[in-house]
Chains A and B, each alone.
Chain A
Amino acid sequence: MTALDLSPVAGRGRLGWSLSDAWVMCRRNLVKIPRTPELLVFSTIQPVMFVLLFVYVFGGSINTGSIPYRDYLMPGIFVQTVVFGAMTTGLGLAEDLQKGLVDRFRALPMSRGALLAGRTLADLVRNVFIVAVMLLVGLAVGFRFHHTTVIAALAGFGVLLFFAYAFSWISAVVGLSVRSAEAAQSGGFIWVFPLTFASSAFVPVANMPGWLQVFARNQPVTQCVNAVRALLIGGPVTSAALQSVAWSVGILIVFVPLSVRSYRRAAVR
């Protein structure tokens, strides 16, 4: 048997290689999605429970003015769902770290950001899928688009998914900084819970006590919910959409370099 020629493929620039490495990593995670159906089921059951809970249990006592509550709620549910969905990024990375895979990748001549880029992209695909499921669930409980166009609605989902993508990178830093996947799990929810509940996702901010309003009005989840809501069911769009996109860009600017740094330093014994 003649020995296989193992010369690496030549003539791809640095950027070309980064993209190709990221794609290898992304595909790895995509392939695994249908192999861990329990993860996907959990990620959808939870928001479905929230929809049922809020529409049928709390909904009657929440005053959203002239807007039917289920229309008010669903954009909030979408944001909550993708933000929770983004937590899987940290979870997956913590697991890679724990299993020694991060060490293996770091000892390869691959690009430094590939694992993170591939992982976050795969999680974005996952989020697209989950949002689609949630949209169907929403339609089933009576959610309807209002005062919008196809373009605006698509823009709404664009703002939503961009926001989710940015959050994946926060989650990545958490996942690479903790000792175990379990810690990444609880470490993720500790800060995500207040962000999603002290926001305009489920109730109008105006109904909250004054001190909480200050926080709720000025945090990114509220901005994203407001933007998505305006784009799906009507309302003043521009300011909220710009703020949401600005938050996402800002988060990426801070957390992409931070997670690459955590990746390079990640050391688990």
Chain B
Amino acid sequence: MTDSSAIVVEGLRKHYGATKALDGIDLQVAEGTVQGLLGPNGAGKTTVVRILTTLLRADSGTARVLGFDVVRDAQKLRGAIGVTGQYAAVDEKLTGAENLEMFGRLYRLSGRTARARAAELLERFELADAGGRLTQTYSGGMRRRLDLAASLIMRPRVLFLDEPSTGLDPRSRAQVWQVIEDLVREGTTVLLTTQYLEEADQLAHKITVVDLGKVIAEGTADQLKERVGGARLEVIIARGGDLSAAGGVLARFANGEVNTDGDRRSISAPVAAGAGVLPDLVRALDEVSVALDDVAVHRPTLDDVFLALTGRPAEADPKPDPEADHRADPSGPADGLDPEASGSGGPGPETGPGERELVAG
């Protein structure tokens, strides 16, 4: 099993004072696959990447990439991998071509080869026209692509990408995704960190969810989705509509906790029955005079997975924010739901009248 693994990580720990950036991470990435490392801010994603790319030493644990130990064989490993850090690292006072040529020379290519490779990569990343311009004039997306190009100079067998599309507009993101998909087709192994669940879903063969320095789940996107069960029902209430009344109605159809997002006027809940419940639901909401802007049944997303695994949404900032407060605070706008969803002994149609009373009273 280890033989076909491009990356093998065992018991990786890294503490910064009291902060456990990594608290025992295990990871195996098969050669030629894309491994997603998914987690919110501060989860430890960058720390993993830095350790695997020889930039940082773990306190304990071992890591091997392509059979090279990240500490003992660091120098050999550096020549065999490509890294794109979380922030595009190119010299702003050099042109795109000069940047790539410089990195090529530092990989010990001859001047001529480095120049030829730079031209080749600029072409591939649609930067040929901009190659002679200082990179300080580049857009964020162009800089990202140049950064990615720099990590591909040696056609590395393993590529590390730390949040490769963060901060990019949708078009640039699609371009970056395309590049990654091409590389994988050519046989490159990719370890990719992301906060975008969509990105992991799209690109990764296997996803490892990390939170607070620990692996909290692992599997394919589909396997992870199965862990949250069936579909998820979401309604968007028309402006001025009664959120708690609607929440009460949803609770009757739900087989789990009802979630309310006051800002978006969205109420959602897991449902077992799938799309079949829609007609009944719409009728029931109509009975309590709640008008709808939108109603949909979603196949579970990785967002739902994260919520199910950690009790909080993946893309929320760990810093205390008002939204987090209202989720936790029983006096918040969502409070009308909680007694229903959890307190009435299993939601079902028979809890309906009780809800109506509560809403009316």
Contacts and interface: CB of A to CB of B under 8 A. Distances in A.
B89 A21 contact: no
A31 interface: yes
Given A106-B54, A107-B54, A267-B56, A9 B109 contact: yes
B83 to A, nearest CB: 5
B93 A36 contact: yes
A9 B155 contact: no
A2 to B, nearest CB: 11
Contacts of A4: 113, 116-117, 120
Interface string B70-88: 0000011011010101111
Between A5, A28, A267, the greatest number of chain B beta carbons within 10 A of the residue's beta carbon is seen for A28
Contacts of B197: none
A109 B107 contact: yes
A5 B117 CA distance: 9
A17 interface: yes
Interface string A1-42: 000111011001000010011001000100110011000000
Given A4-B113, A4-B117, A104 B150 contact: yes
B85 A100 contact: yes
Interface band, chain A: 20 to 34
Interface stretch (B97-105, B249-257, B270-278, B312-320): B97-105
A24 B98 CA distance: 11
Contact of A109 (B93, B94, B108): B108
A107 B55 contact: yes
A19 to B, nearest CB: 13
A103 B55 contact: yes
B110 interface: yes
Contacts of B78: 107-109
B69 interface: no
Contacts of A17: 108
A91 B70 CA distance: 31
Nearest to B78: A109
Contacts of B85: 100, 103-104
B168 interface: no
Nearest to A32: B93
B105 A104 contact: no
B40 to A, nearest CB: 16
A35 B134 contact: yes
B94 A32 contact: yes
Interface string A234-265: 00000000000000000000000000000000
A12 B46 CA distance: 35
B92 interface: yes
A21 B107 CA distance: 9
A105 B107 CA distance: 10
A110 B106 contact: yes
Contacts of B87: 99-100
Given A107-B53, A109-B107, A6 B117 contact: yes
Given A4-B116, A108-B103, A267-B55, A28 B91 contact: yes
B102 A28 contact: yes
A114 B103 CA distance: 13
Given A104-B85, A108-B103, A31 B154 contact: no
A52 interface: no
Contacts of A105: 106
B106 A24 contact: yes
Given A32-B94, A267-B55, A104 B89 contact: yes
Q: Give the interface centre of A35, A105, A107, A267 by most chain B CB atoms within 10 Å.
A: A107
B57 to A, nearest CB: 10
A31 B94 contact: yes
A64 B52 CA distance: 62
Interface-centre pick from A17, A31, A103, A105 (highest chain B CB count, 10 A): A103
Interface in A81-114: 99-101, 103-110, 114
A109 B155 CA distance: 14
Nearest to A17: B108
Nearest to A268: B87
Interface of A: 4-6, 8-9, 12, 17, 20-21, 24, 28, 31-32, 35-36, 99-101, 103-110, 114, 267, 269
5 contacts: A4-B116, A4-B120, A99-B87, A100-B88, A103-B50
Interface of B: 46, 50, 53-56, 75-76, 78-79, 81, 83, 85-94, 98, 102-103, 105-110, 113, 116-117, 120, 134, 150, 153-155
Can you list the 9 inter-chain pairs with the closest CB atoms, starting with the nearest? A100-B89, A8-B108, A109-B79, A104-B89, A109-B78, A110-B106, A32-B93, A24-B105, A107-B83
